[in-house]
Chains A and B, each alone.
Chain A
Amino acid sequence: MLQCRVLNSPPVVYRMYCRIILALSLCCGFTSAAAIAQIEATSVDFKNQKITIALAQEPPQLNPLKATDQVSFFILGHVSEGLLRYDRRGRLAPGVAEKWEMDETGATFWLRKNARWSDGLPVTAHDFVFAWREAVAPITASEYAFVLFPIKNGEKINTGALDKSELGVTAIDDYTLKVEFERPCAYFLKLTAFGTYFPVRQDFYENRGERYAADVEDMLYNGPFRLAEWVHSASLKMVKNENYWNRESITLTEIDAAYITTDTTARLNLFKDGKIALTGLDSETIKDALNQKYRIRKFTTGSVFYLEFNFRDGRLTANLNLRRAMQVVFDPNELVNKVLATPGNLPGYSLFPVWLDGVEGKFRKEFPAKRINIDIEEGRRLVALARQELNLETIPPLILLVGDSPTAAKQAEYLQGLFKTTLDLDLKIDIQTFKQRLAKMTAGEFDIVAAGWGPDFNDIMTFGDLMASWNLNNRGRYNNPRYDELVRRAQNSTDPQVRMEAMAEVQNIIIDDVVILPEYEQAVVYLQHPKLKGVVRRIVGQDPDYTYARVVQ
């Protein structure tokens, strides 16, 4: 999922005040580390194996066919299960399916007979057929329909050319599911662990209609947990699902999301007060947490942030030398250390993050990304060249479109200063709220946009086709037939060597052609109660994953 969204983030002014308060409180000795330690935490309960956490926002959509955001997928990942799932070490493991076979044309899944819905009825192959057909049906208008396009006719159904019954998935019997592929899909098994691939039972879904998943009783559960209580915008309680086939391996009896707020300071206060067991930190709250001498944990989210150029006709950024000039003066390392300044972020050198798998090891180990030497003289020469090519006396200010978060503003100012001092290029910063920024991105009203991309599944293709000419998320409208060809080649093959070599060339094109300027690979810092163990942080799938967590004494 795209990570650049800054939902409900409090206004910048508010953040500024928080900073002042923090400073004030430190002066007054308001927060003393010694005093804090006395509180006995109620967030972790060893005897009953219960934990309490906070959510950043209310899950907007728990209908798996339509869910798009992180919070909804977090809940869904705990209360539902697909054909396959990820185990505690992050490897693919059997879920509803106990075994499977896959080749270039399709896959067959044999479902376990003891997988049950929370009302006791068995989970059958029909539940998957129904869910997948609904997800691609245009009337459902699912934003994630595209993840089902590897299934035969998926895309044609979604564009309205075929009826949903034409989807290449059939239930041979109640416990055998056969899938036909549109084209070979090397990563299909990984897709079956994704939220949009979760089963939905037809009779229940149709009975609830518009209200499906609106409340606890409007949903069915087949995962390790089920929803027990949901007070909108206030709290959401998950309890162990006694109908789950693998209930023996689940230790926690209850995950109580007792607080819902985007305010990170409030969440840190709750953590200090022993009320929640895990909380994320931002560049403000981390200072306070360090003062408390808490153990700070880091986790790389797998998302990449970058500057995307506009290639539409008539845009100055369509000029290669101008883009190159910005490339040779921009040092991602400096951005990470001096501007972002929270631990864990990695400087960005490629569209492909370091965690992606290659042929045998990691892709970036096997095919290292070309490093650009910082060279201001070269940059100036390139700008002069660009001016000549564009037939311009001076380059008019370029529009840099960014979101309205404090970090985005800080980055924009850094870039403005950098390009001015090195290249004498002016940037006009255009700060926009979430929806307005998207509208401008879609309409192409920018020269450079600060964007980001997070993985939807654990394969290089989740990033690889991003700049393909047909991809609607290619907001700069980059169009390169060679790029498209390489993506098609990788998509149509299941041979890792062929796929990764194609992607290595894609990586080179992105750097040579300066399609984007990679900025950083995002990391988050967080606090976790020391008695809470076994929490898995995941790059793809529900994060954090409490499925196998436990409370120790």
Chain B
Amino acid sequence: MSATTGPVAINTFREAVRDRVLYNLIFFALLMMGAAILVGEISIGIERLVIIDLGLTAISIFGLVMSVFLGVGLVSKEIEKRTLYTLLAKPIERWQFLLGKYAGLLITLAVNTAAMTLGLAAALFYVGRPFVRSDASILIAIYFILLEFALITALALFFSCFTSPMLSTLFTIGVFVAGVFAADIRNFGALAKNPALKGIATLVYYLVPNFQNFNAIAAAGHGDHIPASLVGQNTMYAVLYVAVLVLASSAIFSRRNLK
């Protein structure tokens, strides 16, 4: 990280920590402890599936909420509180500021996810299940969740560069929902008789990121093997999407008047 982007990223992480964003971990810990105790009582033989399913879903939901709401505030909060004025008077380009903010939130999400992963491991350990080789798929599923966070944060950052925090939140959630149902949108387009509708559905399918690609929770729960090729594809897909969104955000933000 460069001499200018690094301090911005570290400060963004520090802000999240001091503003008690990581307090969500307490809820996650309570959820995992409660689930482990409850599952141990009622679901003989399927503890693994239930704990992994619940844990990964919770990691995903907690992180998604953080990605959207913190992502939307990355730029808008700095403008609203006017903290950006003194910062941009230092020798830092606007794109470096954006990249630093983005990296800072990714660090926050990664630390948060790592802590939740440890919580999930503790819950699995509690239900008395030894770790096996196929558990690697849990880590891959978590990696995919992180890629998903990177994409959603980039989307939130992109929208917040040209619209209000409320609209940015709506747009980000909208794109996320469309991305989750990307395959259905494509199928809808294929079935539609109206050519305009068909065209719109196809355009939306290709424009929004396909978030279903990143969902490996079921595979992880069943201990299924996740091929390396899928890991490579998802990584490339996310990196490219994020790069385009961050570049577009920089281009927009570099021309914005900070009134």
The answer on A and B forming one complex is no
B interface with A by C-beta (< 8 Å): none
